[in-house]
């Protein structure tokens, strides 16, 4: 029987590679790190030992990827440090909103990267109080 463990990474096409790398490093505290020697430009951004965001640089419109109609609405990370996250976003003038989930111990911080990708960072609701 196959059991899915956790999300390994998100792969994002972008025409703004440097700006995207800077945003994920600055806003989410990720670190640009080792990436296989692919024949195309890009970057891998790490949270600890895990390369969580893979960026692929493209020229012009980043389009919809390998599918004819990409339907990704958002991706999410679980995190700690709610107050620090809010302070970082406010200091940078980033747009965000918070959303406690009813009946679940999660408060989401919804943010958007420079390309407009919707990300939510999930924190324990008790931390967000």
All structural domains of the chain:
10-61+74-128 (3.10.180.10)
Of the candidates 23, 24, 74, the residue with the CA atom closest to the CA atom of residue 45: 24
pLDDT of 66 over the 70 cut: no
In sequence order, what DSSP letters do the residues of 75-117 get, joined into one string? EEEE-S-HHHHHHHHHHTT--EEEEEPTTSS-EEEEEE-TT--
The whole-number pLDDT of residue 129 equals 82
Adjacent-strand bridge partners of 54: 11, 44
Q: What is the pLDDT of residue 6?
A: 80
Q: Is the per-residue pLDDT at 77 higher than 70?
A: yes
Residue with the larger pLDDT of the pair 67 and 112: 112
**Residue whose C-alpha is closest to residue 16's, from 51, 47, 63, 59:** 59
Q: Is 84 left (phi over 0), alpha (psi -120 to 50) or beta?
A: alpha
Copy the structure tokens of residue 119: 């990300």
- pLDDT higher than threshold 80 for residue 63: no
The pLDDT of 49-78, averaged and rounded, is 78
Q: What is the pLDDT of residue 88?
A: 95
What does pTM read for this prediction?
A: 0.85
Can you tell me the mean pLDDT for 42-54? 96
d(Cα 43, Cα 26) in Å, to the nearest integer? 15
At residue 65, does pLDDT exceed 60? no
């Amino acid at each position: 029987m196959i059991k899915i463990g956790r999300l390994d990474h998100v792969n994002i096409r972008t025409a703004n590679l440097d700006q995207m790398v800077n945003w994920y490093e600055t806003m989410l505290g990720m670190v640009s790190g080792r990436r296989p020697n692919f024949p195309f430009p890009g970057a891998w951004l790490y949270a600890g030992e895990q390369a969580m965001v893979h960026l692929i640089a493209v020229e012009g419109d980043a389009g919809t990827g390998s599918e004819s109609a990409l339907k990704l609405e958002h991706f999410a990370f679980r995190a700690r440090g709610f107050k620090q996250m809010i302070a970082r976003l406010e200091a940078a003038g980033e747009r965000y909103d918070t959303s406690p989930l009813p009946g679940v111990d999660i408060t989401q911080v919804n943010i958007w990267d420079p390309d407009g990708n919707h990300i939510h960072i999930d924190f324990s609701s008790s931390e967000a109080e």
